[in-house]
Structure 1
Amino acid sequence: MMVNVHAVNLAVDKKLVEYVQERMDRLEKYYDKIVSSDVYLKVEKTSEKENKFVEVKVNVPGDDFVVKKQCKTFEEAIELSAETLERMLVKRKEKIRSHA
């Protein structure tokens, strides 16, 4: 799957990009018609520890799924986003199967 990583106002290292790619690729186990995904990484300048924002947009034929998470680390936010997307994709697959 094609994964586009967009870092807003920060530089991301190769390891984080590889982690994002690997985690997004695992979503294909749940729904194999994923076209692409966009991952936006942002750091808000706040006094809170949970200042890392991740927004994941997954494109599937006829729909887009968007998940936003805020955590202490990008890895944690990506993991939570992926888990939410897994549930959404499984629901979509079951819905399509019940209509077919």
Structure 2
Amino acid sequence: MTINIQYIHMTTSETMNDYVTDKLEKLHQKYDWIISAEVHFEAEKDVKICKMELSAPGPRIFAASKEDNYEDAVKHTIKDLEKQLNKRKHTFSTH
């Protein structure tokens, strides 16, 4: 799985890169049909925004969250993506 992380209006953080990569790799182990992930971090006043878009068979899967810190934003975004991936998984049929 290819992971592309972008920081908008803020400096790049290796710690956040490692944290997000670890979380997405765990998600990829569970759903091995994920092709790639686009991650965007933004800072607006006191709010931290995390947006993630996954490429997988079918339409792209997108989730975003606004929290007080980036770790919580990543956790909530991953949780939303996992719900969507679980729904998508049930649409696949085995023949």
TM-score scaled by length of structure 2:
0.91
Where structure 1 has 5 or more consecutive residues not aligned to the other structure, the ranges are none
Residues in 1 aligned to 2:26 and 2:82: alpha-carbon distance in whole angstroms: 9
1:33 aligns to what SS in structure 2? coil
Residues 1:71 and 2:67 aligned together? yes
TM-score scaled by length of structure 1:
0.87
Question: How far off its partner does 1:13 sit?
Answer: 1.6
Aligned partner (choices 49, 61, 72) of residue 53 of structure 1: 49
Equivalent AA in structure 1 for residue 16 of structure 2: L
Residues in 2 aligned to 1:62 and 1:32: alpha-carbon distance in whole angstroms: 14
Identical pairs, percent: 24
1:24 aligns to what SS in structure 2? helix
Residues in 2 aligned to 1:84 and 1:32: alpha-carbon distance in whole angstroms: 17
Where structure 2 has 5 or more consecutive residues not aligned to the other structure, the ranges are none
Equivalent AA in structure 2 for residue 37 of structure 1: A
Aligned residue pair count: 95
Residues in 2 aligned to 1:14 and 1:57: alpha-carbon distance in whole angstroms: 20
**RMSD over aligned Cα, in angstroms?**
1.4
Q: Does the Cα contact within 8 Å between 1:30 and 1:89 map onto a contact in 2?
A: no
Residues in 1 aligned to 2:53 and 2:33: alpha-carbon distance in whole angstroms: 14
1:5 alignment counterpart: 5
Question: How far off its partner does 1:21 sit?
Answer: 0.4
